Amino acid sequence: MSIGPDGDGAARLREMKRSDMAAIMALEEELFPEDAWSPEMFAAEFAQPPSRRLYLVAEQGNALVGYAGMMFTGGSQADVVTLAVAPARWGQGTGSALLMTLVDEAEKRGYEEVLLEVRKDNPRARRLYLRHGFDEVGIRRGYYQPSGVDAVVMRKVLG
């Protein structure tokens, strides 16, 4: 799947591979310096069976410019567990493409809703989720550690 302008400026989505970890960790630490996932957290996610997780990356040329992941609980809800886009790609549809690919997969798998948490102090991400039909349904106080920033819980009903 291509995103954005045709030609060299377009990004493509594909499933994440272990060989993406160095680029993912660099972007993770750039975007989330206070509460970045550790390499061990990503390794634990990769250890999960594909029926329980889906991780995607967005590439532009040979560069990784975004990634996202979803957890499939086996119940009625799926959870977006991470979504990140390189600042140079902000506003070009990369985050939307990653998000909607995950949501579409949840719908295909028969889930009734998608949940996620987003930092309360991240208005750009909150606007992205609101634009794509998510509603703010709650607050998790001090969710992000060690920063202690609250998380806004958001939900999208499918179907």
Task: Provide the percentage of residues in the chain whose pLDDT is more than 90.
Answer: 77
Q: Is the peptide bond before 50 cis (omega within 30 degrees of 0)?
A: no
Residue 7 has a pLDDT of 47
Residue of 147, 71, 159 whose CA lies nearest to 115? 71
Does residue 19 contact residue 55 with C-beta atoms inside 8 Å? no
User: 55 an active-site residue?
Assistant: no
DSSP 88: G
State the catalytic residue, choosing from 67, 111, 129, 143.
129
Helix (H) / strand (E) element for 98: namely helix 94-108
Residue 11 has a pLDDT of 84
User: 67 an active-site residue?
Assistant: no
Residue 3 has a pLDDT of 57
For the chain, what's the residue count? 159
DSSP string, 25-63: HHHHHHH-TTTPPPHHHHHHHHTS-TTTEEEEEEEETTE
Does residue 66 contact residue 85 with C-beta atoms inside 8 Å? yes
State the catalytic residue, choosing from 55, 59, 111, 117.
117
Rounded to whole angstroms, the Cα distance separating 52 from 46 reads: 10
Give the relative orientation of helices 39-46 and 21-31 as an angle to the nearest 10 degrees.
Answer: 130
What are the residue ranges in the chain where pLDDT is below 50?
5-7
Write the pLDDT tens digit of every residue in 26-66: 999 999 988 889 999 988 988 888 899 999 999 998 899 99
For residue 37, CA distances in Å to 6, 28, 64, 138 come to 33, 7, 17, 23
What is the chain's percent helix, strand, coil content, to nearest 5?
35, 40, 30
Half-sphere exposure of 17 (CA within 13 A, CB side): 6
